[in-house]
Amino acid sequence: MSLNKLISKLTKENLWLYILAELAKRPMYAYEIAKVIKEKYKIPTAKVTTYVVLYTMKREGLIEKKIKSPSLSNPSRKYYGITEKGLNVLRDSRRFLIKVLRDLGSNIPEEVEESLDGG
């Protein structure tokens, strides 16, 4: 039971962290974000949940909405991109998680820490 609670806290209840990690790679539209969260991280969420989290993140200045001009093959889509504030929060969150693991007795290889510092 405790492990399930931890998994829920680190996944469903912190979707914003996974979303920031993906948007740090490239801008994405909401449906695509939800799909990546489900497929890559195996976090089952309702689509509306993703939209609610995106709205909150936008309001907090972690992400920004970008509208891609429509073409004949693609309609106009609203893409989300990470802001400088979002990148800083992502970096600080990764450092915090590393500290927690270290405090719990895990050995984090130095090269892993360095790669996270770089983005």
- Residue 117: pLDDT above 70? no
Range 2-83: architecture per CATH: Orthogonal Bundle (1.10)
CA distance 119 to 110: 15
Cα separation, 6 vs 99, whole angstroms: 17
Residues 6+ apart with CB under 8 A from 90: 17, 20, 21, 24, 82
Phi, psi for 33 (deg, rounded to 5): -60, -50
32-36, 39-43, 59-63, 107-111: range with highest mean pLDDT: 59-63
pLDDT range class, residue 106, cuts 50, 70, 90: low
Q: Which two tokens stand for residue 77?
A: 């889509």
For the ranges 68-72, 76-80, 83-87, 98-102, the lowest mean pLDDT is seen at 68-72
The answer to whether the beta carbons of residues 77 and 29 sit under 8 Å apart is yes
Top mean-pLDDT range of 34-38, 49-53, 85-89:
85-89
* Crossing angle for the helix pair 110-117 and 84-103, to the nearest 10 degrees: 160
